């Protein structure tokens, strides 16, 4: 196995990208880079970026590309990602972002782009019941809450409903996914970088499927 990996996980809101990227980043020992988490951290710290981004996020709109790109450029330039790669979660979401990403990564290339496939009917239920830790971003739900009184099991932070998990913002995010992000699937499959993975089932089942699919896709390069 080649050390490190450069992975992207695409998928609708509520497909389980975040949970699976955390697990993949542990398995391959690569940084998990979530643009949503980075933006939420900026909002919390009230940086200029956070102040600018918050109104887009709360409405379920996309944050403008130039803000995203400069944030990501800084993150990708750090030693850990240059050396080991990354599991990118929530980026790219537009054709312009996908093209810019290839430029930011050069001379490196993506190993695998995963499309985590889950029917819309299923994600709507998951999003409505989703609850997240405000400090570490861990995911819970009304069906699988933290052990004690909405206090995060991992870090002790408060577990809440995201401000953009309202019905209106969810509908808008899913529309934007279809319009802006879904076209990236055929774009990446044309360059033979895409694999589709079924995202239904328990988190453990999905992780096993992902690791098998990723290893399969990367195998030919192991002997290079």
The catalytic site residues sit at 17, 93, 130, 162, 173
Which residues within the stretch 126-165 sit at the binding site for ligand ADP (CB under 6 A)? 164
Nearest alpha-carbon partner for 195 in 113, 127, 138: 113
Cβ neighbour number for residue 97 with a 10 Å cutoff: 20
Number of H helices, E strands in the chain: 10, 8
In the bound complex, what is the minimum distance in angstroms from residue 42's beta carbon to ligand ADP? 10
In the bound complex, what is the minimum distance in angstroms from residue 173's beta carbon to ligand ADP? 5
Beta carbon nearer to Zn ion, 152 or 214: 152
- Binds ligand ADP by CB under 6 A, chosen from 20, 35, 81, 115: 35
Q: Which does 155 bind (CB under 5 to 8 A by kind): ligand ADP, Zn ion, none?
A: Zn ion
Nearest alpha-carbon partner for 209 in 9, 49, 29: 9
Determine if residue 80 is left, alpha or beta; phi over 0 gives left, psi from -120 to 50 gives alpha, anything else beta: alpha
Write out the two tokens for 86: 């990354």
Binding site for Zn ion (CB under 5 A): 133, 135-136, 138, 152, 154-155, 157
Q: Does 62 bind ligand ADP (CB under 6 A)?
A: yes
In the bound complex, what is the minimum distance in angstroms from residue 89's beta carbon to ligand ADP? 7
3-state secondary structure 146-201: CCECCECCCCCCEEECCCCCCHHHHHHHHHHHHHHHCHHHHHHHHCCCEEEEECCC
| Euclidean distance between CA atoms 90 and 10, whole angstroms | 7
Provide CB contacts within 8 A for 211, sequence distance 6+.
24, 27
Beta carbon nearer to ligand ADP, 172 or 193: 172
State the pairing for strand pair 85-89/32-34: parallel
From the list 23-31, 87-95, 104-112, 208-216, the region that binds ligand ADP by CB under 6 A is 87-95
From the list 75-83, 85-93, 108-116, 204-212, the region that binds ligand ADP by CB under 6 A is 85-93
- Binds ligand ADP by CB under 6 A, chosen from 5, 24, 68, 123: 68
Q: Which does 136 bind (CB under 5 to 8 A by kind): Zn ion, ligand ADP, none?
A: Zn ion
Residues that bind ligand ADP (CB under 6 A): 13, 35-36, 39, 56-57, 60-63, 68, 90-91, 93, 97, 164, 173
């Amino acid at each position: 196995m080649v050390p490190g990996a450069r992975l992207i996980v695409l998928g609708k809101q509520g497909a389980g990208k975040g949970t699976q990227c955390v697990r993949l980043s542990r398995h391959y020992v690569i940084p998990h880079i979530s643009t949503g988490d980075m933006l939420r951290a900026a909002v919390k710290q009230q940086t200029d970026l956070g102040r600018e981004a918050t109104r887009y996020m709360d409405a379920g709109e996309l944050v403008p590309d130039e803000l995203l790109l400069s944030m990501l450029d800084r993150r990708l330039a750090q030693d850990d990602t240059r050396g080991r790669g990354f599991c990118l979660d929530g980026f790219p979401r537009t054709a312009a972002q996908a093209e810019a990403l290839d430029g930011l990564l050069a001379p490196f290339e993506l190993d695998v782009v995963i499309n985590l496939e889950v029917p819309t009917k299923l994600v709507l239920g998951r999003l409505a019941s989703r609850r997240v830790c405000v400090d570490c971003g861990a995911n819970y739900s009304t069906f699988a809450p933290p052990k004690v009184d909405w206090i995060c099991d991992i870090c002790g932070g408060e577990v809440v409903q995201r401000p953009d998990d309202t019905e209106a913002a969810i509908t808008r995010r899913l529309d934007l996914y279809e319009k802006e992000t879904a076209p990236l699937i055929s774009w990446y499959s044309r360059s033979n970088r895409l694999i589709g993975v079924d995202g239904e089932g328990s988190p453990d089942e999905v992780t096993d499927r992902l690791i098998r699919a990723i290893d399969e896709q990367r195998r030919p390069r192991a002997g290079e």
